[in-house]
Amino acid sequence: MNEPEATWPLELVRCEDCSLVQITETVPPETLFSDYAYFSSFSDTMVAHARQIAERLTDQRGLGSDSLVVEVASNDGYLLQWYKESGVPVLGVEPAANIAEVARSEKGIPTVNTFFGRDAAAELAAEGNQADIIHANNVLAHVADLNGVVAGFQKLLKSGGRVVVECPYLKSLIDDVEFDTIYHEHLCYFSLTALDGLFRRHGLAIVDVEKLSIHGGSIRIFAAHDEEAEVSDSVKEMLGEESTWVDQVAFYGRFAQRVESLREELVQRLQELKAAGRRIAVYGASAKGSTLLNYFGIDNSLIDYVVDRSTVKQGRFTPGTHLKIHDPDRLAEDQPDYCLLLTWNFADEILSQQQEYRDAGGKFIIPVPEVRVA
């Protein structure tokens, strides 16, 4: 807790040439991901979401024992387990050694412990691996070498196969003031316009796109080898809609103003509650939570402690604000008056899990896209 902490600037910019929105500082990926604290299986929502797409694609694409599904940044096997359960061969590629070991030992998922890119894809292909489906869920935002990763997709993808990518959607981030999604793990913030240009540079074409509600608003794209591509109307329509805002400076300026207004409103609300003698905890020791706490200046003068479901985080402290992280059971045991929900993207799941605390009078403050009490 008392050891010096590394810090980096956090600035958001937009490329006028390719429309990509990105931060200016790249923290070495070995620092962020070699020993990682985020396990996807701690979220029931994420596991159910993964099962749905796995079952859907297994049926739609006719996957079976002679197929192969690869996931890039496969985490603890939360997605590939569902293909494995259906008898479809799988392969995970996961840079965090601790998480890769959990995938292998607890879920039986073959997992290569490496960063994915051109070289890793070439090695896998040389070993005879060609994928019918390549998943990359919430990983492109984390990647400094975007061109290398997408080139790797192209090299590893079987003829007739699909690359399936999910990432938070830039328009949702802006519209819903999701500024806390901006942190050093997330180097890039994608529009379909930026993704379309990126994939076309490497012989792939986005053939379909879907909007998802998960993570505060995401998109799921499906890409194929460009010579096999038949682009859907949904892709053409979204690209047309994006042309009205993706390069408009005023669009991003209004976002900055709304973030400042949200900061004033939330801090004032917490200060008033504290002055009235109310006790306030936090739910969610997330990366997005660290952005909010540090940028808004919310510390132990307003917050008593943090709870999080991940046993990997319990007993540690939040970066910058040094709030100790406890098991969520403490809410019902200690019964603070309010709990600031920083993992608001899983609000329904968490509010349901914390019904005992709420039934006893506890209230959740949800800060994004506007301050509200539940």
The radius of gyration of the chain from alpha carbons, rounded to an integer in Å, stands at 21
43-65 confidence digits (pLDDT tens): 888 999 999 999 999 999 999 99
pLDDT at res. 28 = 85
Q: Over pLDDT 90: what percentage of the chain?
A: 90
Nearest to 225, CA basis, from 241, 202, 193: 202
Q: Pick the closest to residue 74 from 49, 52, 41 (CA basis).
A: 41
Q: How far apart are CA 245 and CA 31, in angstroms?
A: 35
Q: What is the pTM of this model?
A: 0.88
Question: For the chain, what are the domain ranges?
Answer: 12-249, 250-373
Q: For the domain with range 250-373, which CATH number is right: 3.40.50.720, 3.40.50.360, 3.30.505.10, 3.40.50.20?
A: 3.40.50.720
Work out the average pLDDT over 190-202: 97
Query: What pLDDT, in 10s, does the model give residues 231-280?
Result: 999 999 999 999 999 999 999 999 999 999 999 999 999 999 999 999 99
Distance CA 190, CA 154 (A): 20
Domains 12-249 and 250-373 share a fold: yes
Burial 293-316 (b: 16+ CB within 10 A, else e): bbbbebeeebbebbbbbbebbbeb
What is 12-249's CATH number? 3.40.50.150
154-163 pLDDT, tens digit per residue, is 999 999 999 9
In DSSP terms, 220 is beta-bridged to 166, 210
* pLDDT at position 37: 65
Residue 1 in this model has a pLDDT that exceeds 60:
no
Share of the chain above pLDDT 70, in %: 98
Q: How confident is the model at residue 3 (pLDDT cuts 50, 70, 90)?
A: low
Q: CA 100 to CA 93: how far, in whole Å?
A: 8
Nearest to 209 by CA among 281, 307, 38, 194: 194
What whole-number distance in Å separates Cα of residue 112 and Cα of residue 101? 10
pLDDT digits (tens, 9 = 90+) for 321-334: 999 999 999 999 99
Q: What is the DSSP letter of 323?
A: P
Q: What is the DSSP string of 13-45?
A: EE-TTT--EEES----HHHHHSS----GGG-HH
pLDDT digit string, tens, across residues 164-190: 999 999 999 999 999 999 999 999 999
Determine the Cα–Cα distance for residues 223 and 200; give it in Å rounded to an integer. Answer: 10
Alpha helices in the chain (DSSP H): 29-33, 44-60, 80-85, 97-107, 118-126, 146-156, 170-175, 192-200, 233-242, 249-275, 287-296, 329-334, 347-353, 355-359
